[in-house]
Structure 1
């Protein structure tokens, strides 16, 4: 099992994303036969009802996680909430699931996004190079 600092976390869905403000976060690669990952977000109490509803519906939730430091490309996980604990001022949300895309897929997602925005030729190349350096969040299409 390997553990990492969860630098940032977004819930992704229906062409948009919601940033989860982290007080603290941890991500674990269980390195088991199912390639299971655990992500824990320690966040604002105001998000309790949002996550409680998702948990009660027992539905999948797609997460975009940046691991260890800001410069790293985001990784995508298909998860379910397996624990939701309410504290006085914060909540702990524990997600369990599998990595959906590996980090090398970021360039493909970025390129697709730029083409959809109408970039072509030299402008596409210039914008792609700039975005690969700054690593902006990308809205992911789900089918």
Structure 2
């Protein structure tokens, strides 16, 4: 197994909107097994959990999540997961997701393009902004 720092985490909705999970801390583990299983634990403040809770699936419910691992300038990775546990720890909540990694770049490009179009960009402005952001790979804006 290999463990990594979870830098940022977002829920990807069915219509490709993203919902930020404001992490207090996070860990991601590649189990390096035949099933290609990854464990992602997000540690969030109680107030943020209460805002986030309606967007979370039920326990064992499937959800796509997008994660940046180790360094903030790394390409976001898309995971198909199930939410396994929610545990209250003091004034925080621990969310444990289990799943497998999917392709990264193409989904990120789709999410980025969707975000820019929703912001009203068109034509050359859209093209230029897309080119700049696909290189810098910013965390995408929350659409909620």
TM-score past 0.5 threshold: yes
**1:54 — aligned with what?**
57
2:132 is matched with which residue? 130
Aligned residues: 135
Structure showing greater Rg: 1
The secondary structure found in structure 2 opposite 1:55 is coil
Assess, with a 3 A threshold, how the Cα gap between structure 1 residues 138 and 119 changes in structure 2: closer, same or farther: farther
| TM-score with structure 1 setting the length | 0.77
Aligned CA distance change for structure 1 residues 123 and 38 (closer, same or farther; 3 Å): closer
Measure how far apart 1:108 and its partner are: 4.7
Contiguous gaps of at least 5 residues in structure 1: none
Cα drift, residue 18 of structure 1 = 1.1
8 Å contact 1:113–1:138 — kept in the other structure? Answer: no
Deviation readout 1:14-70 (Å, 9 max, x if unpaired): 3321111111000011111111110000112231581796234x3211111011111
In the other structure, the counterpart of 2:67 is: 65
Runs (5+) with no aligned partner, structure 2: none
Distance 1:114 1:42, change over 3 A: closer
Cα 1:88–1:132, aligned 2, differ >3 Å: closer, same or farther?
Answer: same
- CA, structure 1 residues 40+111, in 2 after alignment: closer, same or farther (shift >3 Å)? closer
What is the aligned partner in structure 1 of residue 44 from structure 2?
43
- 2:8 corresponds to 1:8: yes
Q: Secondary structure at the match of 1:129?
A: helix
**Which whole-Å CA distance do the structure 2 matches of 1:74 and 1:63 have between them?**
10
User: Which residue in the other structure is 1:25 paired with?
Assistant: 26
